[in-house]
Amino acid sequence: MKKWIQKKTKVLLKRPIFSVSDVECFHPEKEVSHTFFRLSTRDWINVVAVDKEGSFIMVRQHRLGTDTITLETVGGMIDANEPPLEAARRELLEETGYAAGTMHHLKSMAVNPAIMDNHIHVFFAENCTPTSEQNLDAAEDIEVLLFSRDRLAEMIRNGELDHSIAITSLALYWLSAHCSDRTTL
């Protein structure tokens, strides 16, 4: 299989956190031209955080895309020239006031390779302790909540927790060698 050849890119919209482009392409085997859309943005991090008592540290906030209040794992964009691990530590502290004892990289993945060019880096933060107040951006309003593993699994099953990135991140943790209890959820 051959890749599409990108001939011309035209930026249609440029905002502070993303841009949208038309990408004119040619397929050498099919001899077909087609214009695709590409959403460009910085890489993201997501953190499955567990405190010293074994509770999962989750955040709840209003998300305008679905106009709903969502339950999520900690997440955010990586700043320019910031290593993913440092972004994970920073976002955990800013959003929750918790600092991680130890951070483990679980996986890096393409977010949606059909239309997006970024990756998400998922981390597990263990032995987290509250060390400060939240340090939220002006546009953030985040509630910090603690849950047991069983309660989170139940919330995934019944739809209370339906954020795809949070569910994927939790599943990556539960399948990892860092999870001491990998019994059936």
Label residue 181 by pLDDT band (50, 70, 90). Answer: confident
Which domain CATH number covers 99? 3.90.79.10
Mark whether 119 and 161 lie in a shared domain. Answer: yes
pLDDT mean over 124-152: 95
Residue 184, classified by CB atoms within 10 Å of its CB into exposed (0-12), middle (13-18) or buried (19+), is: exposed
Q: Are residues 67 and 81 in the same domain?
A: yes
Q: Is the same domain home to 82 and 25? A: no
90 and 138 share one domain: yes
% of the chain with per-residue pLDDT over 90: 94
Mean confidence (pLDDT) of the chain = 95
Give 170's contacts (C-beta < 8 A, 6+ positions apart).
48, 56, 73, 152, 156
pLDDT average, residue stretch 107-130: 97
Q: What are the pLDDT digits (tens) for 47-84?
A: 999 999 999 999 999 999 999 999 999 999 999 999 99
Q: How far apart are CA 118 and CA 106, in angstroms?
A: 17
Structural domain including 16 reads 5-41
3-state secondary structure of 93: helix
pLDDT of 184 over the 70 cut: no
Residue 182 lies in a domain: no
Residues 35 and 64 in one domain: no
The predicted pLDDT at position 180 comes to 79
